[in-house]
Chain A
C-alpha cells in the first residue's frame, strides 16, 4: 500500500484526534478520544447507539466543533474544522442518507462539490460545465457506473438506492478524497449490492484512500478487514486489527457485558394452528400459502425484491392482498386496512419505524397508548391519563426500556429503545399475531439482545410471531421455521435450528435464475 503513496514520507498519519472532548449541554458525549488514521487503511468504528460514534464523525466532517482537544489533519493542527476545511483536506462523509441532492443530476451530485471545494466555498464563481462532465465521467467509471450522457443527466431521485450509494462514493472520488467515512452504508442494501460496495472499497484502498465504516454488521467488517475501533460511553476501548477479535469479543467490548451469541429460541410452539394463509396474491407476491402455530416464530427472508416486504404488508393490511384467504384462530378474516388488522388482533412493527411507526416529538407515554386512546377515553370521550400511564409503565418495564421517564420524547431515545417503544405499543392491544419487519435494523448489539428476549417471551406467552428480515443470523437465532422468498413465491422452508446461512443464501439467489431467466 505504501508503495502507491505519492513521494510523501510513508505512513504519515492522515488524521489524528488528540484528547477530543465533547459536551452537549450536561451530557459528556466524548471523554477524550485519541485516534490515528493512516492512508489506504480500512477502519470499522463499532459501538452501541449513543456511544459517541456519530459525534466523532460530525467533528471530523466539520459539522460540530469539539469542546476541547486537537485535530491534526495532514500535519496541520486545528481546534475545530469547518465543512469546507474538512472537504478540502479530502474527508468525505457518506451519511446514511447519502447526502445526495435529490433534485440535481447525477453529474452535479458527483462533481459539483469538487468545484465548490476548488473555489474554497466561494459561490461568486463561474460554474464549469465541461469540467463537471469530465470529473463526473472519471469518478463514475471508477465505481463502475455508466458514464453516458443519459446517466449523467438523470435526476438522482429517479435512481435506485444501490446506485445512489455508488454515486455518493463517486463524489468522494471526484473531490479527491483521502478519507471516506461511511455511516451504516449497508443497512438497506441486499447481499449482492453489499458485494459491489466491498469491491468499490477495495478499489478506494488501492488508491491509498482510507475508509472508515460505522456499522452494526460485524460479518461485513470481517469480510472487508482492516482495523476495529470500539467505542463505549464516549471512550475508545479498543483499537486493533479486526481479525484479532472474535465476534463475541467485539460484542462484549461494545456493551461491556457478556453477550450470548447462542440461539435465543429455546421454547417450542404450542399445539394448534393460529394462522393459515392460502393462495395469497398481492403486488410482488404470488400465490403464497403457509401456516403459523400458536406460540410459533416464523422467519421470512429473501432479497429486497423477493416479495418479503410486500407479504408482510399484505398480512397486515398496509398493502391489501388481491386474492387469497387468511384464517386466524379458525375464522376467515378480511384484512383490507391496518385498522381491520388491528381489529382482528394483528399487529405490525414496520421496517421504517421513524417514518411509519413513531411520533418522534411525542412522549413515550403518548406513543405507547396511541392504539388504545379510544378505549382509554371510554364513554365520556376524555382520555384517562392515569390509566394510560399505569399501562405505559407496565409496557416499558416489559420492554426493558432504559429510562423510566415516560414523558421523554421518543425522538431522544436510541434506535433500540425506539424499537422497544414501538413493540410495546402493540402489546397494549394484546395481539394474537405480531408481524415484525426488520426488528433490529439500525439497532445496536445490546438492544438487539433485549429485543430478542422480548420476542421469545411473547412466543412463550402464546403469541404467533412473523419476523421479516434480511439479517440471517437473527432469523436462525430466533425462529422455529424460516421461509425463503424468491420472485414473489416461497421457494424454501427450513427448520431454523438445523439450517445454515449458506443454505438460505442458496435459496435466495440460485433459484432466482430458474424462475426468471
Chain B
C-alpha cells in the first residue's frame, strides 16, 4: 500500500464478523446440513433400523436421478434463470433411447447408449438456451413451453407404450454392482455402479463453476445480466452452455432412471420438477439467482430424499411428507431472508 492510502481508505473495516449468523449468511447450506443432521439423529434414535446399510444405500440410490436433475437446475438458477423442462427432456431422451436400443439397434453398447442420451439431452437443452436468448422471454415461460413441446412430441411421435422388458445391456447396467455385501438377515445388499455418476457429475459441476471463466460468468449473469453483458460476457454463449449442460445432465438422469427401474414409462418423471427445485432452494440457492453451491444442492437433495424415504421408519404416514417438505422450505427460506436483512 502506498503511504497515502490510509487517508484514502474510505472503506469501513469490513471485519470478518464471526459467529453463526455470519456463517449462515455466507454459507446458507449450513442450515440444510443442520436440518439433515437433526432429522437423521431423530430418526436414528426413534428407529435404529435407519442406520442399517440397507437404508443408507436406498437413500444413495434414490438420490442419483434427483441429484443429476438438481445440478442442472442449480446451474441455471445460479445464472438467474429457471428450468422446468428438464423432466420432459429426460423423458423424451430416455424413452427414445430405449426404443432405439430395443427395436432398431439392439447391439448398441451401453456406453454408447449413455453417451447418446447425454448428447440428446444436451441438444434439447441447447434449444431451450437459444429460445431463451433470442426470444428474450423469461426462462420460466420458455421452459414451460418446451416442457409441453418435448412431452407432446414424445407421446405423439415416439410412443405411449410402457416398455416392461428392457434391452439386456440396459438391464445389466442397472444391476451392475459397485459394492455388494450380505446383511445380517442374509439378504444381499447392492450399491449399484450407476451411483458413481452423481459424485462425478457433482465434481464436474463444481469444477466448471469454480475453476473456469464460464463458471464465474454464470454467477456474474446471475448477479445482473445487463451489467454482465456490458462487461463483455457473451450472454448467448452462456445461455447455450447453461441450458445445454442442464439438458445433458437431464438426459443422463433419464437413461439411468430407466436402467435403475428396469422399465421405461413415457408418462414418468414429468411432474416431479417442483420436488427438484425445492431441493435446490433448500440447499441455499436463491431463486433470484447469483448464489448457491454444489455442496448445498447435494445437501438439499439428500434432505428431500431422506424426508421422502425415512419418515415411514418413525411411524409418520407418508402423506405427511409433503407437509414436512413444505414447512422446511418455508422455514429455511424465512431464515435465509432474515439473515439477509440483518446485515
Q: Which residues of A contact B (CB under 8 A)?
A: 61, 63, 83-84, 87, 93, 95, 97, 99-104, 108, 112-113, 115-117, 119, 121-127, 141-147, 150-151, 154, 158-160, 162-163, 166, 192-193, 196, 199-200
* B184 contacts partner chain A, Cβ-Cβ < 8 Å: no
Q: How far is the CA of A400 from the CA of B15 in the complex (A)?
A: 51
Pairs across A and B, CB under 8 Å, 17 listed: A61-B230, A83-B230, A87-B231, A100-B227, A101-B224, A102-B224, A103-B223, A113-B232, A116-B217, A126-B211, A127-B211, A141-B1, A144-B1, A144-B8, A144-B9, A150-B15, A160-B11
Q: Are B10 and A116 in contact, CB atoms less than 8 angstroms apart?
A: no
Residues of B within 8 A of A127 (CB): 210-213, 215-216
A179 to chain B, nearest CB (A): 16
Contacting A125 at CB < 8 Å: which of B8, B12, B13, B212? B212
Instruction: Please determine whether B233 and A116 come into contact, CB atoms closer than 8 angstroms.
Output: yes
Contact in complex: B227, A97 (CB < 8 Å): yes
Q: CA A122 – CA B237 in complex, angstroms?
A: 9
Q: Once the chains bind, are B231 and A116 in contact (CB under 8 Å)?
A: yes
Q: How far is the CA of A112 from the CA of B218 in the complex (A)?
A: 13
Indicate with 1 or 0, residue by residue over B223-242, a CB within 8 angstroms of chain A CB atoms.
Answer: 11001111111100110010
CB distance from B244 to the nearest CB of A (A): 13
Taking a contact as CB atoms under 8 Å apart, the answer to whether B16 and A83 are in contact is no
- A97-B227, A123-B238 given; A103·B222 CB < 8 A: yes
B9 and A99: CB pair below 8 A?
Answer: no
Of B8, B216, B233, the residue contacting A196 (CB under 8 A) is B8
- Using a CB-CB cutoff of 8 Å, which residues 194-218 of chain B contact chain A? 210-217
Q: Are B9 and A101 in contact (CB under 8 A)?
A: no
Q: With A and B bound together, what is the CA distance between A126 and B5 in angstroms? A: 33
Does B103 belong to the interface (CB within 8 Å)?
Answer: no
Which of B210, B227, B241 interacts with A123 by CB under 8 Å?
Answer: B241
**Residues of chain B contacted by A119 (CB below 8 angstroms):** 213
Indicate if the CB atoms of B4 and A144 lie closer than 8 Å. yes
| Shortest Cβ distance from residue A75 to the other chain B in the assembled complex, whole angstroms | 22
Closest to A162 in B: B10
Q: Which residues of A contact B6 (CB under 8 A)?
A: 144
Tell me the bound Cα distance from A143 to B213 in angstroms.
26
Name the residue of chain A whose CB is nearest to the CB of B230: A99
Query: How distant is A331 from chain B, measured CB to nearest CB, in Å?
Result: 37
Question: Quick check: A99 and B7 within 8 Å, CB to CB?
Answer: no
CB neighbours (8 Å) of B224 from chain A are: 101-102
Of B1, B8, B16, B223, the residue contacting A147 (CB under 8 A) is: B1
Cβ B10 vs Cβ A113 within 8 A: no
Report the nearest B residue to A200, measured CB to CB.
B8
Q: Contact partner of A102 among B12, B217, B223, CB < 8 A?
A: B223
Residues of chain A within 8 A (CB-CB) of B319 are none
Judge whether B85 is part of the interface by a CB distance below 8 angstroms: no
Taking the closest CB of chain B, its distance from the CB of A128, in whole angstroms, is 9
Contact A84 B232 (CB under 8 A): yes
For A141, give its contact among B5, B10, B211 (CB under 8 Å).
B5
Residues of B within 8 A of A200 (CB): 8
Residues of B within 8 A of A159 (CB): 11, 14
CB distance from A469 to the nearest CB of B (A): 22
- Which A residues are CB-close (under 8 A) to B232? 83-84, 87, 113, 116-117, 121
List of B residues within 8 angstroms of A124 by Cβ: 212-214
Q: Which residues of A contact B230 (CB under 8 A)?
A: 61, 63, 83, 93, 95, 99
**A146 and B213 form a contact (CB under 8 A):** no
Interface: B220 (CB within 8 A): yes
Give chain A nearest CB distance to B225 CB in angstroms: 10
The distance in angstroms between the C-alpha atoms of A399 and B10, with both chains bound, is 40
Given A83-B232, A103-B291, A127-B211, is A146 in contact with B11 using a C-beta cutoff of 8 Å? yes
* Chain B neighbourhood of A87, CB < 8 A: 231-232
The answer to whether B216 touches A145 (Cβ under 8 A) is: no
Q: How far is the CA of A472 from the CA of B1 in the complex (A)?
A: 35
- The answer, among B16, B228, B234, B241, for a CB contact under 8 Å with A150, is B16
Alpha-carbon distance between A125 and B13 when the two chains are bound, in angstroms: 34
CA A144 to CA B210, docked complex, whole Å: 28
> Is B338 an interface position by the 8 A CB rule?
no
In angstroms, Cα B216 to Cα A124, docked, is 11
Question: Is the CB of B74 closer than 8 A to any CB of chain A?
Answer: no
A residues near B237, Cβ cutoff 8 Å: 123
Q: Give chain B nearest CB distance to A120 CB in angstroms.
A: 9
Q: A144-B2, A159-B14, A160-B11 are in contact. Are A101 and B213 (CB under 8 A)?
A: no
B247 within 8 A of A: no
Known: A83-B229, A141-B1. 15 other contacts (CB 8 A): A83-B232, A97-B227, A101-B220, A104-B223, A116-B231, A123-B217, A124-B214, A127-B212, A145-B5, A145-B9, A146-B9, A150-B14, A151-B14, A166-B11, A200-B8
B343 within 8 A of A: yes
Q: Is B95 an interface residue (CB 8 A)?
A: no
| Alpha-carbon separation in the docked complex, A244 to B293 (Å) | 57
**Contacting A158 at CB < 8 Å: which of B14, B229, B231, B241?**
B14
Q: Which residues in window 1-38 of B have CB below 8 A to A? A: 1-2, 4-16
Chain A residues near B2 (CB, 8 Å)?
Answer: 141-142, 144
Which of A61, A95, A126, A144 neighbours the largest number of chain B CB atoms within 10 Å of its CB? A144
